[in-house]
Amino acid sequence: MVDVHKLIAAISPNVFCEPEVRSKVKKIAKEEGFLKAAEVARPIKESDMFEYYKSRKDPFKKWGLKAPVEKHQIKYDSPTEGLEPIYFWLLDFASGAYGNVKKLTDNFSSSVGSGHFSEQQGKATRMQEEGMKMLGAVNQVMRSILNIVYDLKEFKIRLEVYDKAKSSNQIEKNAALLGLKQIWLDQVDAIKRQTTSIKGMAQQFDYVTLIDAFMASNSLDDIKKLDLNDRVKRILEQRIPEFFSWISESEKELRKRYSIERSYLRSQYNTVQLYSRWIKPYLKAARELEQNTSRSENLVSAFNTMNLELTLFAEGKYNPSDDVSEGVLPETFKTITKRKYSPVLVIEFKFRSIPQKVGQHYAFGGQTSIEFTSYALNEDEIKVFHQEIEKNDFGEVMKLIHGATDESLDVVKKDIEDFLKEDEKEDTDKKKQEEMKKEQDVNPFSSLFSFMKKPEKNNKGKKDKEIKEIKSDNEYEKIIRSQAIMESREKCWTIFDIYKRAHGMMAYINPFEKFS
């Protein structure tokens, strides 16, 4: 899992990254992405305290950018209290203070000799088995799709010959008819009649010219014009009409099969997408149940211990209009075009616990370490932050799924799209007729089978465009970010201070209050 603080430093290096590595971080972020940049980023250290009230009332000196981070830590033993009340107290309080709280990390590692380890591994194994079953089903459907694509290609080649046989270009038409005649001779006449077929009879001395005559004739009138004996002409008079009848019927059947195969391709393609959605929860659950391999000194094989790491990301709101109303910022800040800036709080929990089996679940009590860190990010940075967290979270599992579906489909993606687009084109042509029929349709079974119809396309569910680069703050935005940082620092102190007071711990004088 990527370090949250390093990722923020990589996303907003001008504010939250140490000056010595800023240029390097920016270069890597531009060329290789933010996750790579996070590997070399160094988060700026916690700043010294300053007189908050005077600094907030003097926004143009941008005190927030000079001291952008507030950090506090609590560490204590709670063997009887349990870890759940601590987590949910802070989760609920942060939700009320900020409005939007998301869980970023949820990792655990148990000592090998503990009962908790055995139970979690059993659950993980069941999820892995279900995931492997689904992957097997995906592979079968993928093989089916490949076979259908190759069949459709053959059908398409054959149908092109039938289309050319109806061409107004006489040369193209004759060439197509010769091709169809060869297919009819090899696959219909020869198999059906064997020795009495045209090819079989042509081996006899009296019918040597039969194949050439068949190839040269395209109608009964053409046969009459040939300078051949009557026996050959009588055979041609029978076979030529049969050949053209075969062209008509075989084309109908081939187009019907082509249409059915395309529908089946769509069905199989949708099945792969469906399997891909179904398989993700199993593989994701298996990934979450995996042990976070650690050489921590807190984990001893024979002990009944567990390490647990949780990270919450709280996102609040800062409105410059409030500072304008108080006279801190000029009226200009109400009308200028600007990005939204939000106070952000990262809460990190580190628990060293002794799991105790209570009924059907475990209770966790032990040592608790909680760290609060404040930031202020704009809307683009927050979007990129969640985008990169999602990309990193379960990255290997998602690669496995994409390797089984998306990458395999990409090989024949163009062919699949071409075949499916033909369906869409036909649907467009029939749409007007269907709309007219809907008004007159009184069939009670039509609604029963309506679920089989292809859903209409819409713009819902479209993914937001991925942001590759973030614009630097302009002068107005620097002031707004500075004020948002000041508010974020105050909120960070508030949640830290109230937690301590609510749990009977020693508290300090609030440095964010105004003193006369």
Phi-psi category of residue 33: left, alpha or beta, with phi > 0 → left and psi -120 to 50 → alpha? left
Residue 17 has a pLDDT of: 92
Q: What is the CA radius of gyration of the chain?
A: 37
Q: Which amino acid is at 439?
A: E
Residue 495 has a pLDDT of: 93
Q: Which amino acid is at 209?
A: T
Q: Cα–Cα distance between 297 and 344 in angstroms, integer?
A: 32
Residue 383 has a pLDDT of: 92
Residue 57 has a pLDDT of: 79
Q: How far is CA 440 from CA 443, 444, 450, 456, in A?
A: 9, 12, 16, 21
Residue 307 has a pLDDT of: 76
Per-domain residue ranges for the chain? 46-111+308-379+480-516, 132-276
**Distance from the Cα of residue 376 to its chain's centroid:** 28
Query: What's this model's pTM, rounded to 2 decimal places?
Result: 0.59
Q: Cα–Cα distance between 402 and 416 in angstroms, integer?
A: 17
Residue 498 has a pLDDT of: 92
Query: CB–CB of 385/29 below 8 Å?
Result: no
Q: Cα–Cα distance between 168 and 131 in angstroms, integer?
A: 57
Which residues make beta-bridge pairs with 154?
none
Residue 98 has a pLDDT of: 92
Q: Cα–Cα distance between 126 and 115 in angstroms, integer?
A: 17
Which phi and psi angles does 406 have, rounded to 5°?
-60, -50
Give helix 115-164 / helix 230-288 axis angle, nearest 10°.
160
Q: Is 399 helix (H, G, I), strand (E, B) or coil?
A: helix
Give 10-residue mean pLDDT values along the chain (516 residues): 88 92 91 89 79 76 87 83 83 92 78 56 70 78 83 86 85 87 84 80 75 82 79 83 87 88 84 75 63 54 66 92 85 83 93 66 73 93 88 57 55 68 61 55 39 44 63 89 90 92 83 60
Q: Cα–Cα distance between 423 and 419 in angstroms, integer?
A: 7
User: Which string of b and e fits 383-416 if b means at least 16 CB within 10 Å?
Assistant: bbbeebbeeebbeebbebbeebbeebbeebeebb
Write out the E strands in 111-258: none
Residue 464 has a pLDDT of: 56
Residue 442 has a pLDDT of: 44
Residue 106 has a pLDDT of: 77
Residue 466 has a pLDDT of: 65
Q: Cα–Cα distance between 476 and 443 in angstroms, integer?
A: 65
